[in-house]
Structure 1
Amino acid sequence: MLKLILRFLKLFVIFFFGITIIWVLLYRFINPPVTLLMIERGFERKSDGKDWKIDKQWVNFDEISDPMKRAAVAAEDQRFLDHFGFDFKAMEKAIDKNSHSHKLIGGSTISQQTAKNVFLWPGRSYVRKAFEAYFTVLEELFWSKKRIMEVYLNEIEMGDGVYGVEAAAQTYYHKDAKDLDKHEAAAIASIFPDPLKWSPTNPSSYVHHRQYLILKNMRRLGPLDF
């Protein structure tokens, strides 16, 4: 009986690693069609009496304005091009700040957020965090930084039923993502932490201050070599 259980576990482990590695490799070349968060948000809208809405238009990396890429890095992960998926200094800073504040902040990198958005279910748990770390490693192994940024900016939630930078650019500024200037890009990046509550075109004083800090960080970043 023990041998049977061990054999089953061995087959399960081989199957799990095989499927997940193939999945990540496929998304290196194939654009993710939908995420579990998009589906969950769609059902939330239906339960609130709204229409089903997933406004998402994929654009290639070169069709996204340079200010938008810079704004994302400045807002979410300033060491994006230098780390291997994890920014331990940012994690330590977040843990220290969270221990003294009721307002929690995250230390997740763009790579981690991409893994969470594309491969996992919404929510918070240690199990989900472990899977997030696993998929982050696979992304960094099999994808380029350019691909991670491309997927990130096309899949991230940017409003109620709005996903990705092209849909956000059209919704908020009635223009293509490739035409976003630095102020518009910083405004969009300023709502990343809570896109259902905040708006780039009707910002609260807090969101407006975030935009100011993102613009300041964009100037300090220097060239981004993807």
Structure 2
Amino acid sequence: MTSRKSRPQRLLRRLVLVLILLLLLPYVLLPLYLPSFVHPVSTPMLARLATFQGYDRQWVAFDDIAPVLVQSVMMSEDGQFCNHHGVDWREYRAVIDQALAGEETRGASTIPMQTVKNLYLWNGRSYLRKGLELPLALAADAVWSKKRLMEIYLNIAEWGPGVYGIEAAAQNQFGIPAAKLSRRQAALLAVSLPDPDGRQAAAPSAHMNALANRVERLARKSGSYISCLYD
């Protein structure tokens, strides 16, 4: 009788242990991703492999990416990237205030938050995912340099169905390497990031062109905003 009662308890303990290990695994992997020769893959890439779809990703070093692309992505996705430590708390509090007031909320995800989400978590909005994402973003920003963080982000971001990383995106959209992107091409690629399935940088809509115009203007004035990436 005792052994029968203890069997569910043993199963429960094992389940809890597995969950704890899964929660700790991303933190263990963070320092393993420090060396530049390590090229991490994201959960969406793994999902495509698991479903026999495959993907296009060509890793490219940070120094081989056109600075205008880096500027454009920063000013489009996370203008305070060099000034926060993984989470832009001011933006986050503003989103919470909007939600509590019943207003439509805007996104407050930083590049570190998007990076850890892509690497370890899943798409879609949920409080659970955000609860896991925030401490991971803080940890990633603490463990990796800003340059390494940006390098990983630009190499795992999705730019189209099955197209991951800026090198594959530049080749797919414009037929050129990421190092040779023009300022306009960079701006169009940056504004396509929020909707990689619906926005095509090589065939922009009027709305995309308007967004790209704004990003171009901001990128030209990015100066001190990108000081943590370029000496």
Q: TM range, normalised to the smaller chain?
A: 0.7 to 0.9
Return the match for 1:25 from 21, 24, 31: 31
d(CA) in 2 for partners of 1:15, 1:197:
37
- Look up the match of 2:83: 82
AA partner of residue 77 (structure 1): D
Q: How does 1:83-122 map to 2 (within 5 A)?
A: 83-95=84-96, 99-101=102-104, 105-122=106-123
Q: Cα offset for 1:38?
A: 2.4
d(CA) in 2 for partners of 1:164, 1:31:
11
1:19–1:166: structure 2 CA closer, same or farther, 3 Å change rule? same
AA partner of residue 56 (structure 1): R
Flag structure 2 segments of 5+ consecutive residues without an equivalent.
1-5
AA partner of residue 21 (structure 1): Y
Tell whether the 8 Å contact from 1:72 to 1:189 is kept in structure 2 after alignment: yes
Q: Cα offset for 1:20?
A: 3.3
AA partner of residue 45 (structure 2): M
1:4-41 superposed Cα distances (whole Å, 9 cap, x missing partner): 9xx98997798567633321111122220x32212445
- Look up the match of 1:124: 125
Which protein shows a greater Rg? 2
Q: How does 1:212-223 map to 2 (within 5 A)?
A: 212-223=213-224
> RMSD of the alignment, in Å?
2.9
AA partner of residue 31 (structure 1): H
d(CA) in 2 for partners of 1:16, 1:43:
19
- Look up the match of 2:146: 145
Q: How does 1:18-97 map to 2 (within 5 A)?
A: 19-29=25-35, 30-32=38-40, 34-40=41-47, 52-95=53-96
1:57-109 superposed Cα distances (whole Å, 9 cap, x missing partner): 000111111001101101000000010011122224445666434xx531100
Tell whether the 8 Å contact from 1:79 to 1:87 is kept in structure 2 after alignment: yes
Q: Cα offset for 1:140?
A: 1.2
Flag structure 1 segments of 5+ consecutive residues without an equivalent.
47-51
1:21–1:158: structure 2 CA closer, same or farther, 3 Å change rule? same
1:93–1:186: structure 2 CA closer, same or farther, 3 Å change rule? farther
SS of corresponding position for 2:221: helix
1:36–1:78: structure 2 CA closer, same or farther, 3 Å change rule? same
d(CA) in 2 for partners of 1:128, 1:14:
16
1:43–1:105: structure 2 CA closer, same or farther, 3 Å change rule? farther
Q: Cα offset for 1:114?
A: 0.4
Tell whether the 8 Å contact from 1:42 to 1:161 is kept in structure 2 after alignment: no
d(CA) in 2 for partners of 1:71, 1:65:
10
The TM-score, its normalising length taken from structure 2, stands at 0.82
Are positions 1:161 and 2:162 aligned together? yes
Q: Cα offset for 1:123?
A: 2.6
AA partner of residue 200 (structure 2): S
Q: Cα offset for 1:124?
A: 2.3
AA partner of residue 55 (structure 2): I
The TM-score, its normalising length taken from structure 1, stands at 0.84
Tell whether the 8 Å contact from 1:56 to 1:167 is kept in structure 2 after alignment: yes
d(CA) in 2 for partners of 1:96, 1:209:
29
SS of corresponding position for 1:75: helix
